[in-house]
Amino acid sequence: MKIYQVGGAVRDKLLNYPNKDRDWVVVGANPDMLLKLGYTPVGRDFPVFLHPTTHEEYALARTERKTKPGYTGFNVYAAPDVTLTDDLLRRDLTINAMALDSNGELTDPFNGLSDLRAGILRHVSSAFVEDPVRILRVARFTARFDFSIAQETLALMAKMVKNGEVDALVAERVWQETVRALGERHPQQFFEVLRSCGALARIFPEIDRLFDVQQSTEYCSKPLWCLQQARLKTSDTQILFAVLTYDLAQETIKDGIELLEALCQRYPVPNQYRDLAILVANFHNNYQQVSRLKFFEEKLLASKAFSPEKLLELLQQLDAFRRPQRFEKFLFTMELCGCNANQPYPLEIFRSAYEMARQVDVAAVLADGFQKATIGEELRRRRVQALALSGMVNESQ
């Protein structure tokens, strides 16, 4: 029996890239041997065990044979006669098909180290086409490492799309890979790769549609360009998802929101991601009005574009008083969405209005004897008055 460290842990070690997860493969063993050593079985589809001390995963060397569409349609063979090379042959990319033994000696039967140094993502074998998740993984690796894809590998990905393998992807896995890609250093490349092999139109038709909304090539690249710029300023994937999808509402807000809601329903998009994205898309046109306000005295001071009532209504629709953290994320997202504008959004008008109105609290209204329905009415009146007295808005509007 011999144990090797394999997969992404080896790849990242060679790149000096941080990696908390380590995977191990055991060659020349069977389940009984590991059970006697105190390992705990956890694998359902193939023999995987947890180490008795470290609790890391140890898998028996195995081969796989495709039996039906999708990424679960495999027959697995795991036995002592399966070699390390046999096990590495079933992996997706050459850079993930390397192994290290306990002495640090590298086993690299498919020239993964050469591809790693050249920054190339290349499939190990023609069996690559048997698992549609590999399309998502290759796209995510470009987002992480900024590597190029071998032309023959990209051709296989396009073939998988054409043959319908991509349609067998499970919604949970699509979202899992997408949200991971959003947090990588070059998230825009995830979507560019999916589009280059035809998968974007099948997986995210709403996002693919953004490339055809306008004739302008510059406009077509704007959502991904903004996503790239936004990633330089934040790693918050909720904000990045909202930056990616806000342009869905550019033609008509109603249709755009419906597209966004359809995307969020098709995949298990968490509520906080969906709510922020819809909030940004829904208020984008209103916010555009504020972006056109005049600049003077070298400060971002708003001209009197909103009445106090209108400004308070906007803050309430944004649920700013009950959800201040999301409100701040909304403002930051809008700033990022305007990354290609000639002038930044004057966020101060919203932040200042919020701070001014927030100082009028419910406790003061209750202390003055207001009860039940009159509490909300009086709170609103006082907040409108505070905004009017601040001089930020035109009280006569």
Domain end among 84, 119, 154: 119
Question: Is 300 within the bounds of a domain?
Answer: yes
Confidence of residue 236 (pLDDT cuts 50, 70, 90): very high
Question: Is 315 within the bounds of a domain?
Answer: yes
Question: Is 193 within the bounds of a domain?
Answer: no
Please list, in sequence order, all residues whose beta carbon lies within 8 angstroms of the beta carbon of residue 387, skipping any fewer than 6 positions away: 308, 311, 312, 353, 356, 357, 393
How many structural domains comprise the chain? 2
- The Cα angle at residue 247 between residues 246 and 248, in degrees rounded to 5: 90
Domain end among 73, 88, 119: 119
Better-predicted residue by pLDDT, 273 or 343: 273
What pLDDT is recorded for position 133? 95
Task: Identify the CA nearest to 310 among candidates 220, 380, 241.
Answer: 380
Residues 116-162 pLDDT 10s = 999 999 999 999 998 999 999 999 999 999 999 999 999 999 999 99
Question: Is 330 within the bounds of a domain?
Answer: yes
Sign of CA dihedral 175, 179, 182, 187: negative
Among 157-171, 271-285, 286-300, the range scoring the smallest mean pLDDT is 286-300
Confidence of residue 308 (pLDDT cuts 50, 70, 90): confident
Q: In the beta sheet, which residues pair with residue 106?
A: 100
CATH number at residue 101: 3.30.460.10
Domain end among 119, 151, 174: 119
Better-predicted residue by pLDDT, 294 or 277: 277
Please list, in sequence order, all residues whose beta carbon lies within 8 angstroms of the beta carbon of residue 73, skipping any fewer than 6 positions away: 66, 67
Question: Is 293 within the bounds of a domain?
Answer: yes
What pLDDT is recorded for position 285? 57
CA–CA separation, 386 vs 366, rounded Å? 18
Please tell me the pTM assigned to this model.
Answer: 0.84
What pLDDT is recorded for position 339? 55
CA–CA separation, 257 vs 259, rounded Å? 5
Question: Is 292 within the bounds of a domain?
Answer: yes
Look up the domain containing 104 and give its range.
1-119
Span 85-109, mean pLDDT?
95
Question: Is 61 within the bounds of a domain?
Answer: yes
